[in-house]
């Protein structure tokens, strides 16, 4: 029996005027600026944000625009409104959801190096598990396709952008073949930061050449159907990449904020 499909309510689309678009864009910028201030520690958990009136003056924005920006932060779990008191900063790890993480990694400005490192840890957990499933599930045609990508990576060794794209494509295929929809959705959600990380990695000296041996061993383990050894190699591969990036991440953008674009 097929799994039931739960349909979400369908809302009528609202056509925005040019003025509405400008207001929406400005409120988004204000929300992102406040978000960065909070995540960087300018406003600590439990502290009160400037009043709506003060933010209007500080940001040279309308009250409606500031209110929309605050509502965005409330939706992300970053702040909360207290009646007759003001807007207060939450303990973000305790209150925020994956929506905040997606917001951080998709707005294309900068990401804290601690978040990048935490996401590398998370990526390793899900991809090691996923790789083991691929060894159990992949067909001969699937394996041939992945081996061809590895061969293409060897051909493109001098083209860092091309090899980074191939690397990303290989991991996307592995996550698809794992057959776990949540893994795929999470991988898709964090595309910008994963793409940045892979591109950054391939700019490191000898990284592209060193990584090929891991991928060839990974393909051999998958072809042999050895899920435990496949998981072991995937963990080795990802740890190698993590450690290379961690060695130099303190030198990027003064060691704290890493540009995604």
Return the pLDDT at 138. Answer: 97
Structure tokens at 220: 């051999």
Q: Are strands 110-112 and 86-89 parallel, antiparallel or unpaired?
A: unpaired
Joined together, the tokens standing for residue 2 give 């097929």
CA distance 92 to 89: 8
Is 0.75 surpassed by the pTM of this model? no
In terms of pLDDT, which residue wins out, 7 or 228? 228
Q: Select the more confidently predicted residue: 153 or 195.
A: 153
Domains of the chain and any CATH numbers: 18-96 (1.10.10.10), 109-259 (1.20.120.530)
pLDDT at res. 116? 73
pLDDT at residue 217 is higher than 70: yes
What are the strands, taking DSSP E only, across the chain?
79-82, 86-89, 110-112, 257-259
Kindly list the distances between the CA atom of residue 37 and the CA atoms of 9, 119, 255, in Å, as whole numbers in the listed order. Answer: 34, 21, 17
For residue range 130-154, list pLDDT tens digits in order: 999 999 999 999 999 999 999 999 9
């Amino acid at each position: 029996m097929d799994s039931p499909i739960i349909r979400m309510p369908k809302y009528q689309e609202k056509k925005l005027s040019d003025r509405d678009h400008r207001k929406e864009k400005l409120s988004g910028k204000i929300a992102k600026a406040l978000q960065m201030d909070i995540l960087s520690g300018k406003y600590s958990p439990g502290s009160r944000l400037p009043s709506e009136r003060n933010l209007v003056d500080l940001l040279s924005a309308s009250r409606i625009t500031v209110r929309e920006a605050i509502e965005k932060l409330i939706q992300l779990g970053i702040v909360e409104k207290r009646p007759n008191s003001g807007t207060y900063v939450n303990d973000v790890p305790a209150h925020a959801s994956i929506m905040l993480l997606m917001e951080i990694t998709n707005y294309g400005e900068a990401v804290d190096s601690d978040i990048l490192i935490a996401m590398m840890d998370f990526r390793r957990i899900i991809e090691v598990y996923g790789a083991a499933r691929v060894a159990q599930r992949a067909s001969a045609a699937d394996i041939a396709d992945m081996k061809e990508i590895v061969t293409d990576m060897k051909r493109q060794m001098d083209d860092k952008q091309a090899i980074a794209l191939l690397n990303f494509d290989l991991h996307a295929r592995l996550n698809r073949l794992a057959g776990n929809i949540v893994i795929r959705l999470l991988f898709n959600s964090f595309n910008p930061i994963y793409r940045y990380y892979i591109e950054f990695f391939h700019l490191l000296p000898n990284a592209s050449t060193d990584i090929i041996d891991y991928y060839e061993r990974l393909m051999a383990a998958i072809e042999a159907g050895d899920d435990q050894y496949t998981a072991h190699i995937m963990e080795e591969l990802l740890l190698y990449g993590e450690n290379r990036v961690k060695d130099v991440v303190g030198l990027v953008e003064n060691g704290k904020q890493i540009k995604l674009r």
